[in-house]
Amino acid sequence: MRRGYSKITALITIAATIFALLALFTPTAFGFDYASVFLVGTLFGVALLLSSIVINLAIPPTQTLKGRMFTSVEVATIVMFSALYALMIVFTYQIYPIPSPTGGYLQFGDFVVFMATLLFGVKVGGVTGATGAIVADFYLGYPRWYVSIIAHGLEGAIPGLTKKRHPAVQIIALVIGGFLMASTYFFVNIFIKGYPVAVLSYVRYLFGQAGISIVIGFIVARVAKKTLPQSQ
């Protein structure tokens, strides 16, 4: 749409709408019951997609949006932090694994996402979280990589909105980002592991992975801003 291909964008969005509607039948195919939050969330997403289709069809094909989506510096920064984030996840899982009582391993690599978003903003933080997580998932063979895109994308994007705000506001945003990450996995784990194990995993994600990563990421970002003024 930014380059003027509004009609093609509308077709892609139509395809996305079809897939979203098909997703409503996925739990039934695997023998799961519908969760009300899943049904409401999907229908809300479909409504947004339909709105997007109308908007795209209303834009003349020759009209382009001004401005670049990412600058070259932002792209380079995203690549660097995404690679570092993926490396930290793989390092934790394969070199120094910390077993979790609910299965899997604890990892604290999310501090890279928090550090990136506080230093460089919402775009860098959001894309770093989604890209780094999906690269690590592909490497480790995690089958639900698509969940990581949402979980860690939100985790990185939300705190980036407070890049130039007071430290107290940034901490609140970090907590919200960590909460959204943990909650995303929680709702997925309800279907996969059952409610009791999902609750235990939720505590692990919230207070272990997110909590420790928030502390490390916030401290590193504060030190970087003081020692590297150009990072601002």
Confirm whether 99 is domain-assigned.
Answer: yes
Q: Are residues 203 and 125 in the same domain?
A: yes
Asked whether residue 222 falls in the same domain as residue 153, the answer is yes
pLDDT of residue 95: 66
Is there a contact between 136 and 90 (Cβ–Cβ < 8 Å)? Answer: yes
The 3-class SS string of 45-66 reads HHHHHHHHHHHHHHCCCCCCCC
**Residues 50 and 105 placed together within one structural domain of the fold:** no
14 and 123 part of one domain: no
CA 153 to chain CA mean position, Å: 2
| Domain annotation covers residue 66 | no
**Cβ distance 209 to 216 under 8 Å?**
no
Same domain, 38 and 100: no
Give the CATH number of the domain where residue 207 resides: 1.10.1760.20
Same domain as 194, residue 103:
yes
- Separation of alpha carbons 221 and 52, rounded Å: 36
Specify if 107 maps to a domain.
Answer: yes
pLDDT confidence of residue 22: 83
3 state DSSP class of 98: strand
Q: Return the closest-CA partner of residue 49 out of 75, 10, 76, 22.
A: 10
Q: Which of the 8 DSSP states describes residue 95?
A: T
- Please report the pLDDT score of residue 81 as a whole number: 92
What DSSP designation does 34 have?
Answer: P
Same domain, 53 and 82: no
Predicted local distance difference test score (pLDDT) of residue 231? 57
Shared domain check, 77 and 54? no
What is the tally of structural domains in the chain?
2
- Tell me, what's the pLDDT at 144? 77
- Whether 1 maps to a domain, the answer reads no
How many Å apart are CA 74 and CA 81, to the nearest integer?
10
pLDDT of residue 181: 87
Say yes or no: 42 and 103 in one domain.
no
Q: What share of the chain is helix, strand, coil (3-state, %, to 5)?
A: 75, 0, 20
Of 17, 32, 58, the residue at which a domain comes to its end is 58
Query: Would residue 52 count as lying in a domain?
Result: yes
Question: 104: which DSSP letter?
Answer: S
Question: Which segments of the chain have a pLDDT < 70?
Answer: 34-37, 62-68, 94-105, 229-232
77 shares a domain with 135: yes
Distance (Å, whole) CA 97 – CA 115: 23
In this structure, the answer to whether residues 27 and 124 fall within a common structural domain is no
Quick check: helix, strand or coil at residue 65? coil
Q: Dihedral of the CA atoms 48, 50, 51, 56 (nearest 10)?
A: 120
The verdict on residue 197 lying in a domain is: yes
The reported pLDDT for the residue numbered 112 is 92
Digit-coded pLDDT (tens) for 161-197: 888 888 899 899 999 988 988 888 888 878 777 777 7
Q: Extract long-range pairs of 189-194: CB within 8 Å, 24+ residues apart.
A: 190/35, 191/27, 191/32, 191/35, 192/144, 193/102, 193/103
pLDDT for the residue 41: 76
The answer to whether residue 63 is domain-embedded is: no
For residue 67, being part of any structural domain is answered with no
pLDDT at 105: 63
Residue 114's pLDDT is 93
Do 148 and 225 lie in one domain? The reply is yes
Give the structural domain span for 93: 72-231
Task: Give me the pLDDT at residue 148, please.
Answer: 85
